[in-house]
Amino acid sequence: MTNSDLFGAGGEARGDDKLAVQQQTTQEYYGTYPGFRIASGIKIPDGDLKGEYVDFEIVSNELQGISFYQNGLQKLVVNGTSYETVGIDAKKGDITKIISAANGDIKIEALDGDIFLEARNIRLKASEELTLTSGKHILLEGAIMNLKATTTNILGKKNLSMGGQFIEVSGGVSVEEGTQSDKKQGGFLGSLISTFDKFKDFL
């Protein structure tokens, strides 16, 4: 996809001959200046935004710029790196960058690269569910790792290994161990092992 496709409007990318003639009775503006152009109120004649209207846009000759559309869409195109610095005069503890979606989702993607988040502390909070999914590996590494939940389930579909210089296992009421074959033996132990059926949700 070229930058002209991203904007869907503007100068040579659209073809000036396709633009409707500006009328005094309409709120249309299209101006070309050395190195950039400005448009407002122009109907887009083709592309993925065909039929939509430009609210305001400013685009350079290198097809970099920012566009707002009357349907509420906004596009920013940068040929290289987009670098933003905030909080120059902020005090420690101030929130200096907020991205808020009143409705809908927020998506950040780098399909041909990596996403790096770096900070003194990183806190993830979800009101309902927090999901981490990887096609290959998930690595959690730190000096101390704590897992705390009302109910904690750990399942290895193939193997589950735990190791350490010292391993301590304790239970407030009891600690039971067994295998799936123990279920066939019935009795109290078998009834306890049957609780492993809940792991079917993972399979």
pLDDT 10s digit of each residue in the chain, 203 long? Answer: 555 556 664 444 444 444 545 556 667 898 999 999 999 999 988 888 899 999 999 999 999 999 999 999 999 999 999 999 999 999 999 999 999 999 999 999 999 999 999 999 999 999 999 999 999 999 999 999 999 999 888 888 888 888 899 988 888 888 877 676 655 555 544 554 555 555 555 55
In a domain, 173, yes or no: no
In a domain, 133, yes or no: no
In a domain, 181, yes or no: no
How crowded is the C-beta side of 183, counted as CA atoms within 13 Å?
8
How many domains are there within the chain?
A: 1
**Residue 50's domain spans which residues?**
3-77
CA distances from 61 to 101, 103, 169, 170 (A): 32, 35, 67, 69
In a domain, 89, yes or no: no
- What value, to the nearest 5°, has the Cα angle with vertex 96 and ends 91 and 99? 165
- Using a cut of 0.75, tell me whether the model's pTM lies above it: no
In a domain, 110, yes or no: no
In a domain, 28, yes or no: yes
In a domain, 152, yes or no: no
- Asked whether the beta carbons of 6 and 73 are under 8 A apart, the reply is no
Distance (Å, rounded) from C-alpha 8 to C-alpha 47?
6
